[in-house]
Structure 1
Amino acid sequence: MKILSQSFFALSVLLMMAAADSLAQTAKEPDAIIGIYQSPDENGKVEFYKERGQYFGKLIQVNTSQNKVKVGTIIFKDLTFTNGHWEGKIYAPAKGKEFPCNLSLKNNKDLEVKVRSGFLSQTREWKRLNN
């Protein structure tokens, strides 16, 4: 019985630490996302801006010779700010499709982008290039 209560205590402490870490990474200001970010593969830069109460991310530089995506393409669409993160859609040029995404600021600077496709999800970090 003592081992069970110690295990429960340890699990409770871990869950509280995880919750505190999660809360520490939520943004307080919706406009905090506005700025320029480097893609994880370093093949492009995206500028986030606000329009009609929603946020968008437009490709402003492409470092690859692939013709599937061009400067000016809107990569992130219809992002809305809720509970410290942004939800919307991301356009994947390689697949020619949009996917649901969830964005959150990491260390109040870089973006953590989580993309969902069915039951699968993938998280990547985009580096902020400006303040």
Structure 2
Amino acid sequence: MNAHRLVALLLLLTVTLSAFSSQPGNPDAVLGKWLSARKKNQVQIYKQGNKYYGKLVWMAEPNDPLTNKPKVDSQNPDEKLRNRPLMNLPILSNLVYKGGNVWAEGQIYNPEDGKTYNCDVTLKDENSMDFHGYILGMPFLGKTKTWTRVK
């Protein structure tokens, strides 16, 4: 995976995450809408059971510039999924709260390259988080971007 694609993935993730509770040590503090580092996407983080997930809920450019139709998951490796809309697409999955404002063991799907990456999140304060995406299960093979809460 080249650096450009990883950066694109992290940007998409940054947009995907938003509002959360401000209490330190609160497992649900990541809940809400988050704006990606490049400010091109927002992700709504929600909880199912004891895990956290996120879906794409806003894009600066929601339509394909050539067709002016809503963007679809055209890079998905599964051809059957390539026509599904990007808006409301689940892209973040299986984050587990580890304590100390850290959520780990998650995966993020990047519709720009059709690949899924490992990820973890560290809440810096109630309105910002560090989102770390990486490959091959090796955190040192990745990048960290700061996402901000959407109020």
Do they fold alike, i.e. is TM over 0.5? yes
1:96 aligns with 2:114: yes
Give the Å deviation of 1:60. Answer: 0.8
Give the equivalent residue in structure 2 for 1:83: 99
- Counterpart position of 2:76: none
CA contact (8 A) 1:68 1:94 kept: no
AA at the equivalent of 2:149: R
More helix per residue? 1
**How many positions carry a matched residue from both structures?**
104
Aligned position for 2:68:
none
Give the number of the structure whose residues are more often strand, by fraction. 1
Q: What per-residue deviation string (whole Å, max 9, x for no partner) do you get for residues 41-98 of structure 1?
A: 2111111111122111111111123424511111210111013211111111111111
Unaligned runs of 5+ in 1: 1-26
- Counterparts of 1:99 and 1:68 in 2: how far apart (Å)? 20
Q: 8 Å contact 2:131–2:146 — kept in the other structure?
A: yes
Give percent identity, aligned residues only.
29
- TM-score scaled by length of structure 1: 0.72
SS at match of 2:39: coil
Letter of the structure 1 residue corresponding to residue 28 of structure 2: D
1:61 aligns with 2:62: no
TM-score by length of 2: 0.63
The residue that corresponds to 2:123 in the other structure is 105
Displacement of 1:108 after TM fit? 3.1
Provide the C-alpha distance between the structure 1 equivalents of 2:72 and 2:38, rounded to a whole number of angstroms: 16
The structure showing larger relative contact order (alpha-carbon pairs under 8 Å, at least 6 residues apart) is 2
Provide the residue aligned with 1:116 in structure 2: 134
Q: Distance in 2 between matches of 1:78 and 1:110?
A: 20
Aligned to 2:38: 41
In structure 2, runs of 5+ residues without a counterpart are 1-23, 65-70, 74-85
- The aligned residue for residue 73 of structure 1 is 89
The AA in structure 2 aligned to 1:124 is: K
